[in-house]
Homo-oligomer: A and B are copies of this chain.
């Protein structure tokens, strides 16, 4: 195969996907999906050590495994030569973080720490640090900490310092032993290049780092825990690099393992959702990009910075340099559907066909889509799923459809929050696994939001975006906008709203909002109480 190519490596929740992409057309020459051998560790470590409620860990060796297995596969199956590869980009779930030695060795790979849960990678959906997140928010507000204002005073339990504080409090020896606490997004780039070059995007959205002013003060961290006062100076990098920057060249040993050339340019790390945006051809304001997978990320750019309820972060240049990048999200979307299929042993295709035959409103059900907490306007991991309206005639397809509808209502709630602050949303785009595989889900999202949803040329947006940044890092394009116009863009495929369905969904959405505010805004604390009963049971 002739031409020039870039490699994108998309690190997801269950697997890594390696893509070899033409930089002339954006088309995939080859791809390889490499499941993580240890998957997500939720109930126990590989050696059987039990984990608590809401834990979710990973094994960093699995990330290397993806490189070692996936890169040779795509080269081999495409016939592309190493010298045709202009650059490598990666993207990662976030905040997914780990403690390492000064040379990057993960603590969990040292035999003396292998049985210590806090030595392992904390995956984005590790939610056991909610008490720490709560305290960060209380103390942040008390101190009027500027970095927290950028995040609506709502540091998620998923973010870096909640996870770090949990280590400090629950296994201080691990914290002491760790020379670095680092995002997995940056750790993998370090392994590829031998250089610890941290990226602005992950740091901006997940680590309380603000361009120009850096991390919160030593006094803030001391207020969280005196042992943590010097966390920034002792364990974090101080310099951060913009998206598309070159982190370094591929090391000799990685070149040998993968079959690529030593010195092949590698871009700095990236968050998966954010990498998907330019892959859709979106490099400016007005287009809401929905990355729809296990969870749903809403990405939007604007010229101004406003305070929008539920926005997890607003980062200068966080998506594309020159614009404020807004990120909102829903904690469980595909994960919620998968829970339903798995828990009740229903066949996804059969139940989808039955659910598609239902009319909107026919089931009499409405759900709150908080099976994994609320990560959008309410920012509260203690919230939980609710289903109301069940009768003895309720069928599994009724429930499945209500779950899909609830996730669409969650997205509509995010859209309304942006509109309320005057940030325009002219178009919707969707990418990710659900956009590719679930026409019923997409149609319901179109009907609920009453908007056309366009799909990009490549439905593997994050991986393509990673490859595009690899191409920019390799000097094939002057900037990401140039790469996007060459490699990204829309497919022409779109879902159009059905006005009749939308009328019914408006009525159902009113009920969703009533429940949303009742359980989410303090009208009832039943969900919190149930969590605490469960924790003590």
Chain A 267-290 residues near chain B, CB threshold 8 A: none
9-residue interface stretch from A227-235, A245-253, A390-398: A390-398
B392 adjacent to A371 (CB under 8 Å): yes
Question: Which of B343, B396, B537 is within 8 Å of A360, CB to CB?
Answer: B537
A533 adjacent to B361 (CB under 8 Å): yes
A371 adjacent to B390 (CB under 8 Å): yes
Question: Which of B53, B365, B396, B514 is within 8 Å of A343, CB to CB?
Answer: B396
B508 adjacent to A526 (CB under 8 Å): no
Is there a chain B Cβ closer than 8 Å to A49's Cβ? no
B526 adjacent to A366 (CB under 8 Å): yes
A387 adjacent to B386 (CB under 8 Å): yes
A361 adjacent to B511 (CB under 8 Å): no
Chain A 348-403 residues near chain B, CB threshold 8 A: 359-366, 371-372, 384-396
A343 to B387, CA, bound (A): 15
A385 adjacent to B390 (CB under 8 Å): yes
A504 to B537, CA, bound (A): 8
Which residue of B has the minimal Cβ distance to A368?
A: B388
Is there a chain B Cβ closer than 8 Å to A33's Cβ? no
Which residue of B has the minimal Cβ distance to A125?
A: B392
A47 to B48, CA, bound (A): 61
Q: Which residues of B contact A371 (CB under 8 A)?
A: 390-392, 394
Is there a chain B Cβ closer than 8 Å to A101's Cβ? no
Which residue of B has the minimal Cβ distance to A536?
A: B361
B388 adjacent to A386 (CB under 8 Å): yes
Is there a chain B Cβ closer than 8 Å to A335's Cβ? yes
> Taking A529-B511, A537-B504 as contacts, is the C-beta distance between A387 and B390 under 8 angstroms?
yes
A366 to B344, CA, bound (A): 19
Q: Which residues of B contact A514 (CB under 8 A)?
A: 524, 526
B526 adjacent to A364 (CB under 8 Å): no
Is there a chain B Cβ closer than 8 Å to A7's Cβ? no
Min CB distance, A49 to chain B, in Å?
Answer: 18
A518 to B531, CA, bound (A): 19
Min CB distance, A128 to chain B, in Å?
Answer: 12
> Taking A335-B392, A359-B537, A537-B359 as contacts, is the C-beta distance between A531 and B364 under 8 angstroms?
yes
Question: Which of B53, B364, B534 is within 8 Å of A384, CB to CB?
Answer: B364
Over the window 3-21 of chain A, the binary record of Cβ atoms lying under 8 Å from chain B Cβ atoms (1 yes, 0 no) is 0000000000000000000
> Taking A364-B531, A533-B508 as contacts, is the C-beta distance between A526 and B388 under 8 angstroms?
yes
Q: What would 9 A/B residue contacts be, using CB atoms closer than 8 Å?
A: A339-B392, A339-B394, A365-B530, A371-B392, A371-B394, A507-B529, A511-B529, A511-B530, A515-B526
Interface residues of A (CB under 8 A from B): 42, 53, 332, 335-336, 339, 343-346, 359-366, 371-372, 384-396, 504, 507-508, 510-511, 514-515, 518-519, 524, 526-527, 529-531, 533-534, 536-537
Given A339-B394, A361-B534, A388-B519; 17 other pairs, CB 8 A cutoff: A343-B394, A343-B395, A344-B346, A359-B537, A364-B384, A365-B530, A372-B392, A386-B390, A388-B530, A389-B531, A389-B534, A507-B533, A508-B533, A511-B526, A511-B529, A514-B524, A518-B518
